[in-house]
Amino acid sequence: MQRSSLWKAGLAALAFAASAAVASAQTAQDDGEKEIERYRAMISDPMANPGFLAVDRGEALWSQKRGTKNASLETCDLGEGAGKLEGAYAKLPRFFADADKVMDIEQRLLWCMDKIQGLDTADVIRRRFSGPGRASDMEDLVAFIANKSSNMKIEPQLSHPKEKEMAALGEAVFHMRAGQYDYSCSSCHGESGKRIRLQGLPDLSRPGKPPQEAMGSWPTYRVSQSALRTMQHRMWDCFRQQRLAEPAYASEVVTALHAYLNKQAAGGELVVPSIKR
């Protein structure tokens, strides 16, 4: 056989091997995702989801009297009226006239703790995310409040000029490239078909099912972290992975991203707390 023929045969063999390897890897990824989904289905019952322990703790905190005013949060207005929780989370972030700003759930809770309870929130913020031997009032409260909107539709609030401005700011941040890797949110979530390890990455740049499913599943119990996590934590972790400066807790940039993503997820169903790997 001539050398050129051998060369062509070798190239064909290499191409076939590469194609087979890619197909095998794709099959392994698909099988992995199926097993993950099967595991989630097995523990989707509230009695098997540890996230509901956070819901119970949050309910106790909601009615607990604290702060210099010895008051509970039961008169806190989350947008639907003082103390009304049903459907409130599904419409956050939103504009609050008494604070003259658009707030997400964490911002509003901190505001109510200060104004209604007279509570020094420094310790609450210090424990913003739970860890070994460290509980988080905010994670528990968010789990409790969000659960009151479970099985309801996400309804982004965009009627007030400041709500529109906040969603527009969130869109700009979503596409802003920065940090050591020159990444943006859209680097991972700007098109379909992307993965990180076995995990599929939803395309959040277009309205529809992917953002609906993503935003409708937070807060969630993270099995790998043995903790209930909120969207605030998800944003913080994304900034960390982009090697960006940590956003201040309950900051405007996180609220803006939340407002934009909820706009993309409009009409999606909240099923929370969910459970993830």
One-letter identity of residue 209:
K
Query: How long a stretch of residues is the chain?
Result: 277
Long-range contact list for 184-188, CB < 8 A, 24+ apart? 184/242, 185/238, 185/257, 187/242
> Coil, strand or helix: which one is 222?
strand
pLDDT digits (tens, 9 = 90+) for 90-101: 999 999 999 999
Between 137-147 and 51-63, two packed helices, what is the crossing angle to 10 degrees? 100
pLDDT digits (tens, 9 = 90+) for 201-243: 999 999 999 999 999 999 999 999 999 999 999 999 999 988 8
pLDDT confidence band for 168 (50 / 70 / 90): very high
User: Rounded CA gap, 71 and 28, in Å?
Assistant: 54
- Mean pLDDT for 189-198 is 86
Sign of CA dihedral 134, 103, 211, 146: positive
Q: Find the angle CA(19)-CA(22)-CA(26) to the nearest 5 degrees.
A: 140
Residue 67 φ/ψ region, left for φ over 0, alpha for ψ in the -120 to 50 degree band, beta for the rest: left
Helices (H), 98-230: 105-112, 122-126, 137-147, 161-175, 185-189, 209-215
pLDDT confidence band for 196 (50 / 70 / 90): confident
The separation between CA 270 and the C-alpha centre of its own chain, rounded to angstroms, equals 12
Confidence (pLDDT) at 44: 62
Catalytic residue (one of 112, 185, 188, 238): 238
238 is an active site residue: yes
User: Rounded CA gap, 38 and 202, in Å?
Assistant: 19
Q: Which of 203, 181, 183 is CA-nearest to residue 192?
A: 203
What global pTM score does this model have?
Answer: 0.85
pLDDT digits (tens, 9 = 90+) for 16-67: 655 655 555 556 556 666 776 776 666 666 667 999 999 999 999 999 999 9
